[in-house]
Structure formats: C-alpha cells, structure tokens
C-alpha cells in the first residue's frame, strides 16, 4: 500500500539534543518512508509518481515514530489483577508460576492477542517479549500486524521444551520480516551458569539476541552473591554473556562496577519503573546510567506486575521517578525519555536508523497522535506535552511495516468485545484449575 499523510506536525526524532517539529507530509512506498518533507513541490511529485496513493489528512495530528516496548510478557494479560500487592518471590512461587503451569498454548496465544491489541491501540509498533511458547505467540504477531522481538524463555528445569521452542520459532518465523528472535533465560538466580552459557551459545549460533532479568530485586542480588560471590552483572560478564546483543531488564541494584561493565559491553538496559515500584523492587539509577553512556530504554514488564502495557504512562513515570530519586528536576527531560522509547530502543534491537525515527529510507513504523485534546492544550513544547500529558487513548492511527493496522482507534479484523469476553472466560477457567491443583 502506498500512503501519503499530509498537513501533519512531524516529530522526526533525528535531532541529538533539541527536538524539532515541522508541518509537512510523509509518504510510504515499499514499506518504507519514501518522503518526509515540507516542500510542496516534493509532495506533489510524490503524488505524481504514485497515482494510486491513498492520501490521509493529518491536520491537528502529530506524526512520530511508533513506540518500542523493550521488555514485556505479553501473554500475561491473562494474569492482570490475579496477584496484586504481594512480594516478588511469593508472587512468583505461589501465584504466577502455578498459574502458568495450567495454561495451554492456545490460551497463551489468546493472552498475547489481548496484549498486542492493547499495545497497538497505545501506539506501540514493536515489542520485546520474554515468555514460554513464543512460537505460538508469533501467530498473534503475524495476524495483528505488529513488529516483535520474541524471546523464548527458560529455567533450568525447562531446557528441553525451550530448545524445541527455539527450533520451532526459527523454522516458522523466517519468512516474516516483522519478527526477530531471542534467547531469554529467566535470570541469573533461576538459571545455572551452564544453562546460561548454553543459551548464549545457542543465540550466537543462530544469530539471535539474548535477554534476561538482571539485578531486579535485593533478593536476587543476595542469592547470586551467596552462590557465586559477586553481583549479577559481574557474574554474567564472567560467563561471557554480556555484549551489544544483550538486553538486561530492570538493572535496579547495580553498583559502579556494574554500570561500567554494562556500558563497556554495550548492553541495553530496559527500565521498567512502574513494575519496579509496584513490587517494591527499588528505583533503578537510570539517570546515572544514561549520563554515563549506558544504552537505556523503557519497557512495561508484564500486566500482572504493572498492570498495563501503557508506554505513555511508563515514560511519564520514568521521568518523574528519576527527578524525585535524584532530587534534581533537570534529569531525564522529556526529549531524552522519548528517545529511550524510540531511538535508543531501535538501537537495542538492532534497528538503529530504521526504526525510532521519521526519515526517508527508514521502515514505515509510525503513529499519529490526535493533539487537539483538552489535556494537550496549549502547546508551548510539543514533546513535553506528549511525555507529561499524553495518553494511550490519544493515538489515532498506527502504521507498521507500511500497513495501517489502527485507524480511528479501530483495529481491522478484531472484534474487541468478543476478544474481551474470551479473555475473561479463559482467565477464570485457568484460575479455577490453578486453585484445584493447589489442593
């Protein structure tokens, strides 16, 4: 499909420091941005070169890169509200893992569909996932048109099922250019050094990314130190795990040496402030990591520890939390936060220059924000308005890989009422099975 969006306020995200916006047009051809311009002659030339183009008036809307959620567990929408206000270790061992043991692959796909719909409606065009049965989650990614990096997760006790999952993922997703794959051991305290290294070797052999939870809680840090005599970051580094194809989720409890290692190895950190707040994991020193050159990005984590997949709320929280944690209102200003969710995130998943920016030649993944809203007026600084005032419900249109997947806040081919009914019924059924299994 060839598309032309005109009269938009364009936020390119290509400036290093000071954001720049301009009124112009964006043209899409061959799944890429073929035109980004305010020159009427170039816009008219694009119309002539593409006589069948579909033209959409973007008056009153901001056109910007789609958001990239760098850490979530998308199928966990089925556990939203299932286990709230509980400490992490008890939450995992007594609630989440027993619930997951009862889920079927078909139920995981349903949960993934719900999560993907939520993210698309909120302007997320790419998400980085970490879960079981990712080969099945790929089905929902294909069907709904989003872009994803799918990380097959494992514990020491689930290596065989995981290895099969990876092989199935590789076999079934190779023809979908919207899907990249990753190996995703749960954490350095639930996976032995041997299984962590086996996972990294598998990732290198197949050219996959690697992701894991790192230094999420004080309990994790204590367990790793008792077992291996060092921090989680140093432990992983000693094993040869950390490099520029590694995404570390959380990184809350890190010291000076850990931060230096993360920077030197090129590890991308996914900051999940709301999940860390809800489970009382702590406040990650993101402002400091960012200032010292660590590649920092933003993720939501799963919906049972957040409890949503709203990247707008996550960005606002990320900025505000660092300001109060450092007692410095100047840290992580709005534009730096938005870069974390776009430009930085694109680098983290190997799409630097192709995603997270609006420029000619980039992949056509972008969103239109309805900026004529009471909570977005008046406009002195558009980026500040988006980060500090923006809502997921402001997203009007979503384009992924050159295809319109959300238009007028509607997702083509999705019966939202029926999907919600199925999710409610399925979640109740799994909860009943989980309760019965505990008896």
Summarised one tens digit per residue, pLDDT across range 4-43 is 999 999 999 999 998 999 999 999 999 999 999 999 999 9
Task: Report pTM.
Answer: 0.98
Indicate whether 397 pLDDT > 80.
yes
Degrees, nearest 5: CA angle 81-82-83:
95
Sequence-separated (6 or more) residues with CB below 8 Å from residue 155 = 185, 186, 190, 191
Mark the binding-site residues for Zn(2+), compressed into ranges: 71, 73, 213, 301
Q: Which residues sit in the known binding site?
A: 71, 73, 100, 186, 213, 216, 301
The pLDDT assigned to 167 comes to 81
Q: Domain segments of the chain: what residues?
A: 3-65+357-408, 67-349
Residue 240 φ/ψ, nearest 5 degrees: 80, 25
Contact between 197 and 237 under an 8 Å Cβ cutoff? The reply is no
Q: Which two tokens stand for residue 58?
A: 């973007």
**3-class secondary structure, 87:** coil
Helical (H) or strand (E) element with 211: strand 209-214
Tokens matching residue 62: 């901001």
The yes-or-no verdict on residue 227 having pLDDT over 90 is: yes
Averaged pLDDT, 303-312: 96
Contact call for residues 296 and 286 (beta carbons, < 8 A): yes
Mean pLDDT of 209-237: 97
Average pLDDT over residues 391-414: 97
> For residue 88, what pLDDT is reported?
79
Cα separation, 232 vs 225, whole angstroms: 8
Confidence (pLDDT) at 398 = 98
Q: What are the structure tokens assigned to 35, written together?
A: 């035109």
Asked if pLDDT for residue 324 goes beyond 90, the answer is yes
Rounded Cα–Cα distance for residues 62 and 76 (Å): 31
Stretch 87-107: mean pLDDT: 92
Give the whole-angstrom CA distance, residue 40 versus residue 46: 10
Q: Where are the beta strands (DSSP E) in 253-352?
A: 268-271, 295-298
pLDDT at residue number 312: 98
- Four-point Cα dihedral 333, 124, 357, 243, nearest 10: 80
Which class does domain 67-349 fall in? Answer: alpha beta
Q: 279 pLDDT band (50/70/90 cuts)?
A: very high
CB distance 61 to 53 below 8 Å: no
Q: Which residues are annotated as a binding site for substrate?
A: 100, 186, 216, 301
Predicted local distance difference test score (pLDDT) of residue 174: 76
Which is the CATH superfamily of the domain at 3-65+357-408? Answer: Urease, subunit C, domain 1 (2.30.40.10)
Cα separation, 199 vs 436, in Å, equals 34
Three-state DSSP state, 60: coil
């Amino acid at each position: 499909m060839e598309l032309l969006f005109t009269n938009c306020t364009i936020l390119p995200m290509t400036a290093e420091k000071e954001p720049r916006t301009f009124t112009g047009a964006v043209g899409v051809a061959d799944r890429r941005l073929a035109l980004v311009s305010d020159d009427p002659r170039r816009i008219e030339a694009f119309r002539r070169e593409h006589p069948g183009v579909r033209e959409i008036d973007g008056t009153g809307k901001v056109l910007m890169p789609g958001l990239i959620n760098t850490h979530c567990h998308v199928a966990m929408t089925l556990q939203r509200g299932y286990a709230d206000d509980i400490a992490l270790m008890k939450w995992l061992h007594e609630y989440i893992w027993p619930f997951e043991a009862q889920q079927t692959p078909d139920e995981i796909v349903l949960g993934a569909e719900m999560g993907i719909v939520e993210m698309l409606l909120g302007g997320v065009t790419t998400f980085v996932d970490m879960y079981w049965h990712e080969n099945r989650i790929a089905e929902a990614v294909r069907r709904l048109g989003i872009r994803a990096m799918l990380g097959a997760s494992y514990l020491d006790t689930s290596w065989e099922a995981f290895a099969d999952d990876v092989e199935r993922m590789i076999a079934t997703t190779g023809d979908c250019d919207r899907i990249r794959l990753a190996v995703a051991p749960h954490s350095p305290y639930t996976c032995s050094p041997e299984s962590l290294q086996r996972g990294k070797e598998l990732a290198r052999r197949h050219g996959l990314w690697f992701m894991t939870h790192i230094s999420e809680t004080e309990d994790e840090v204590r367990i790793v130190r008792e077992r291996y005599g060092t921090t989680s970051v140093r432990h992983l580094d000693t094993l040869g795990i950390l490099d520029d194809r590694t995404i570390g989720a959380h990184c809350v409890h890190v010291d000076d040496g850990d931060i230096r290692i993360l920077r030197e190895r090129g590890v991308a950190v996914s900051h999940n402030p709301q999940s860390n707040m809800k489970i009382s994991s702590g406040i990650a020193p993101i402002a400091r990591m960012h200032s010292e050159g660590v590649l920092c990005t933003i993720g939501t984590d799963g919906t049972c520890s957040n409890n949503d997949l709203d990247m707008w709320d996550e960005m606002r929280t990320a900025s505000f939390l660092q300001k109060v944690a450092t007692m410095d209102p100047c840290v992580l200003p709005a534009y730096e936060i938005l870069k974390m969710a776009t430009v930085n995130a694109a680098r983290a998943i190997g799409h630097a220059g192709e995603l997270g920016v609006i420029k000619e030649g980039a992949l056509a993944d972008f969103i239109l924000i309805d900026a004529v809203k009471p909570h977005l007026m008046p406009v002195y600084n558009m980026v500040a308005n988006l980060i500090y005032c923006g809502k997921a419900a402001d997203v009007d249109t979503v384009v992924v890989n050159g295809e319109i997947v959300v238009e007028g806040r509607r997702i083509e081919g999705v019966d939202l009422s029926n999907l919600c009914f199925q999710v409610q019924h399925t979640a109740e059924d799994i909860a009943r099975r989980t309760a019965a299994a505990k008896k």
